[in-house]
Amino acid sequence: MTIDETVRRTLHDWSGEARVPADLASKALGRRRRSRVKAFAVVAGATAAVVAGALTVPSLVPGLVQGRQGNDDRPAIVVLTGSNPSTETAGDPESAPPKTLVAAGGTAAYAYYVWDREKISAEREVTKRTWYLYDKAGRSYLRTPWAWLDVAPGGETVAVLEGIPARRVGVIAGRGGEAQWIDLDRPAAAVRWSPDARKLLVTHYEGNPDEVVTEQMGETAEANRTGYSVVDLDSGRIEFHSLEPDDNNRFGGRLDFSWSTDGSLVWEHNSTPPGTKKFYAPDGTPRQGPPGAADTYQEAGVSPGGRWIPEQNRDRSAVVDLKDTRTGEVTALKPVGGHWIEQLVSWADDDRVIAWACELKGTGNCAVSEFRNRLLLVDVNGGEAVPLTGYRGNSQKPGSWEPLFTRR
């Protein structure tokens, strides 16, 4: 069941009731919960308004949600790569941001955000994100009211923050029509699902890490990160782990924690040396990362089967090298399909990766700018490249968009 269908079902089921269903509180995220995990319980009339606000449905609340951006009816590409629909390649090569699903192999962009800067004083600015979530029923992305969100593997459940920072995290489940709020002891500015969708990783800050002080020499942020919490959705247990701030991170700002590929570790970006990662056990104990994982700066990380490790290109023939863990051989990810590969975003499988790429002009030069780029599905063995989106005008300027990829 899609999230939109869940909302519609909830509103329909509760529309004739004078009170909340008696068993709502017992339908918790897990089998056991502490008192801090509160059921989202209100009377039927208020439920309609709040649930619609949680993930609004255009037919019920016109104008609150924006679906397709523009009236472009050009078809999106759908390239079937197998009989299993979960492995199909889908994209919208004429649009940026996309109007229809972007997906390939085992990964899909179930959400994206458009970012902007808001001036809050003469010397202070804050980055704002407007999030769009993919609606399977409407086959388009819908605007949401959340300040932050993350989509669980499978694309059916979402974790949200109402503001940044926030004192609670919400979980909107694709089954049962329930929204749950989990109270937090400390303010949070990011939340991420574990690979098995049974835990949440919450990064805590004293203030807003997206607020910066503009100065003559650049920008600095004052929001100190205090640590992270692991929320176990089966038991409702929340465990906070304090970590000392990174003294070498002179710019401050966001230093969110993420899960390792198998969910056994958490990691953060390391400022010394730059481009590396530090790994921890979920309880905060420092740990060695998986082979090669600590040294790759690419967002996509190590390939799903562990075969490829992205590295910085050594001979300037490309941006990224791929090291084959089986043989130790290093191959440059050179231009393909008229595009210069800039950044690896998410692996489709062990042989294909989704990357940001600019239009090629000459040898190693972008036709317009390295910041005007599009998402491209690339065969790492030198095969074809499939455009998945249109070009961003300038990824460094407000109004640009960033995808959120999740395993299917």
Confidence of residue 37 (pLDDT cuts 50, 70, 90): very low
pTM for this predicted structure: 0.79
Q: How many CA atoms lie within 13 A of 35 on its CB side?
A: 0
Output DSSP code: residue 65: S
Kindly list the distances between the CA atom of residue 315 and the CA atoms of 340, 363, 381, in Å, as whole numbers in the listed order. Answer: 15, 14, 19
State the span(s) of the chain assigned CATH 2.120.10. 1-65+146-295
Which of the listed CATH numbers 2.120.10, 3.10.20, 2.60.120, 2.40.160 matches domain 1-65+146-295? 2.120.10
Structure confidence at residue 269 (pLDDT): 85
Confidence of residue 57 (pLDDT cuts 50, 70, 90): very low
C-alpha 286: how far from chain center: 25
Going by C-alpha positions, the residue among 119, 147, 141 that lies closest to residue 68 is 141
How far apart, in whole angstroms, are the C-alpha atoms of residue 394 and residue 373? 8
Under a CB-based contact definition with an 8 Å cutoff, are residues 342 and 373 in contact?
yes
Helix (H) or strand (E) holding 311: strand 308-312
Q: How many CA atoms lie within 13 A of 351 on its CB side?
A: 5
| Residue 54 DSSP SS3 | helix
Mean pLDDT, rounded, for 11-40: 34
Structure confidence at residue 210 (pLDDT): 93
pLDDT at residue 25 above 80?
no
Kindly list the distances between the CA atom of residue 191 and the CA atoms of 134, 147, 152, in Å, as whole numbers in the listed order. Answer: 19, 11, 11
> Cβ-count burial of 73 within 10 angstroms (0-12 exposed, 13-18 middle, 19+ buried)?
exposed
pLDDT tens string 277-334: 899 999 999 999 887 787 788 999 999 988 999 988 888 888 899 999 899 999 999 8
pLDDT at residue 175 above 70?
no
Angle among Cα 258, 307, 284 to the nearest 5 degrees reads 25
Going by C-alpha positions, the residue among 149, 225, 221 that lies closest to residue 187 is 225
Spell out the SS3 assignment of 339-377.
EEEEEEEEECCCCEEEEEEEEECCCCCECCCCCCEEEEE
Mean pLDDT, rounded, for 108-133: 94
Under a CB-based contact definition with an 8 Å cutoff, are residues 146 and 161 in contact?
yes
How far apart, in whole angstroms, are the C-alpha atoms of residue 150 and residue 304? 20
Partners of 130 in beta bridges = 114
pLDDT tens string 377-399: 999 987 789 999 999 988 889 99
